[in-house]
Amino acid sequence: MRVIETGFQGLFILQPKVYIDARGYFFESYRHEDMVNAGIDFTPVQDNESRSVKGVIRGLHYQLNPSAQAKLIRVVVGEIYDVAVDLRKSSQTFKKWYGINLNSENKMQFFIPKGFAHGFSVLSDIAVIQYKCDNLYNPQFERGISLNDPDLIIDWKVGDLKPIISDRDLRNPLLKDAENNF
């Protein structure tokens, strides 16, 4: 596994070694020992999968402490634009965001540590996303930030498509008004 720095402390792109032959391909999508050797403290306890259609934007979601979650994101089918927003008040990249295209062809994975909000837009006709979390989902601590926060100015890369956004995500507050205990 190759670990690629992003310029954000603890936020990494992971490139697994993919073995390709006439039958198809094989790769290890997660090996705890590789994470430890890369200096990434991550032990998943929950695995999630979502399927979305082109133009869907999900996010920006996070959980407050003590239920904060680190996540390892990968795309099984299709392509997404994945975004992480740093909510850690003591971080040099506080209130900044990082975005990356993830798809089923490049097999790259995005490791998002605790203290970040996460969201993605779907760029392909459909996308199936799998992500591992190191803490269980807890609706009591679930929070969100507006996808269209003018202080963040995120280009979700959906072009002229009318985005498909849940009612809940449309009600998320701006970052400056969002609850944050990081």
Q: What residues act catalytically? A: 61, 131
φ, ψ at 99 (rounded to 5°): -125, 150
Sheet containing 79-86: order of strands? 97-103, 79-86, 116-122, 57-63, 142-144
Quick one: DSSP state of residue 10? T
Q: Which residues contact 82 (CB under 8 A, 6 or more apart)?
A: 73, 99, 100, 101, 102, 110, 118, 119, 120
